[in-house]
Amino acid sequence: MSMYNQIIANKRKTNLLIVLFVVCIIGFGYVFGSVSGYGWYGIFPAAIISISMALVSYYSGDKVALAVSGAKEIRKEDNPYVYRMVENLSITNGMPMPKVHIIQDQAINAFATGRDPQHASIAITQGAIQKLENEELEGVIAHELSHVHNYDIRVMTIVVVLVGVIALLSNWMLHVNMLGNNRDREKSPHPIFLVIGIVLMIIAPIVAELIKLAVSRKREFLADASGALLTRYPEGLARALEKIATEGASMAHASEATAHLYFANPFGRSRQWLTKLFSTHPPIEERVKALRSMS
């Protein structure tokens, strides 16, 4: 499959997952309204709370991620090799130069953050700089710049809002079932809605999280394809992934909250017990296979 076809396919799959998410919320909202007696009104406060929380993350999440990872900003004179590589790829990609940070960690990894190309930062581990060949490091940086260029932070913010709506509705449904509906005790919902409501209360947050992780994995494939298109050398990115798989090292400051941002799973082999379903990243073997199938 060509690089262009890979990009189009991954964008389409992401859009389909988000549509599925919205359909799930509409269905869950309908059941919630039937069980609680609040109709559709219950969805609005849940959406407002979720959007408010997501906006805080959207505008300040990059600073938190950089601080948690221990990333330190550098200037060109601090590391001309890395700085110029980021600069050249940014020019090629037609985007502003992001702030460049280095993480003092020997694991091979990197991440990009920022709500748009004008407010972007890229962080690269010392291990990646030391252990990757020029073409391999270039592939990793191109992948991360593609996340920014593809507005992946914005896409994931939308997904987080949708997850938040479902989580809040599920929590409220729990209270309605346990405490009863004080608004209208005389009107009882049909028993079938009570059964569906209880089932959804349990599985809806799990399904929402699975869809969020699926979207995250599709954006990784998209960034791989976009990065390969940027460098015109998919093999460099594929070799970098193989080195990460061989090394299997975890990062000292790895966090569940920021794991989805990284180029590869920052927990290394310590989280191999997780299935594909619950991972923020596709298996490295699948990413390498997809890269080597590009022409």
Active site residues per annotation: 144
Which amino acid makes up residue 81? Y
- The Cβ of residue 123 has, within 10 Å, a number of other Cβ atoms equal to 28
SS3 for 125? Answer: strand
Measured between alpha carbons, how far is 98 from 112 in angstroms, rounded to an integer?
9
Compute CA distances 83 → 79, 80, 234, whole Å. Answer: 6, 5, 22
Tokens of 68: 């948690």
Contact by Cβ (8 Å): 128, 251: no
Contacts of 114 (CB under 8 A, 6+ apart): 62, 98, 120, 121, 148, 153
Tokens of 1: 């499959």
Measured between alpha carbons, how far is 238 from 233 in angstroms, rounded to an integer?
9
User: Which among 278, 292, 165, 164 is positioned nearest to 235, based on CA atoms?
Assistant: 292
Contact by Cβ (8 Å): 136, 178: no
Contacts of 182 (CB under 8 A, 6+ apart): none
